[in-house]
Amino acid sequence: MNREKVIFGFFIILALTLNFGFVLGEISDPAHHHEYELFAAIVVNLIATVLKFGDRSQMGALLLATSLVADLQLVAAAVVWTMVEHVTGTGLDGAIASIVSLAAGALLANVVSVVLLVIETARTHR
């Protein structure tokens, strides 16, 4: 068993599950979406992105692209959250749907990443 591939797969799947956990729940209810879960999703997605650097194959390029999309959307969600909470002071009630929608876009990018990883793994074992 290749330890590097296990760690790589672990972070890819952990990024997906943390993102899913944040998005899951009523879209307009701030109690269903915790800020620390969003933070954890961002950190793990960034680690997964770093692990994808260096692969020069076409599949590696697609995996990196999906990670960059997820990172961008999760960071945008965090920026919206920060602006609403600390700059405007208006509270999350009006903006939580936008925050969750951005995280849902990142979730879709993470799903594509896991599907590509499964395809690549299936191709290598033949």
In tens, the pLDDT along 50-85 reads 998 877 888 889 999 999 999 999 999 999 999 998
Single pTM value for the model: 0.90
What does the block give as tokens for 98?
Answer: 């936008």
Task: Report the pLDDT averaged over residues 37-44.
Answer: 96
Other C-beta atoms closer than 10 Å to the C-beta of 63 total 24
The count of structural domains within the chain is 1
Residue 59 · residue 113 · CB < 8 Å: no
Residue 1: pLDDT band with limits 50, 70, 90: confident
What does the block give as tokens for 16?
Answer: 């997906």
Q: Judging by beta carbons within 10 Å of its beta carbon (0-12, 13-18, 19+), is residue 58 exposed, middle or buried?
A: exposed
Residue 126: pLDDT band with limits 50, 70, 90: low
In tens, the pLDDT along 84-120 reads 988 887 777 778 999 999 999 999 999 999 999 999 8
What does the block give as tokens for 123?
Answer: 């191709």
Q: Judging by beta carbons within 10 Å of its beta carbon (0-12, 13-18, 19+), is residue 98 exposed, middle or buried?
A: middle
Give the domain extent around 43: 3-124
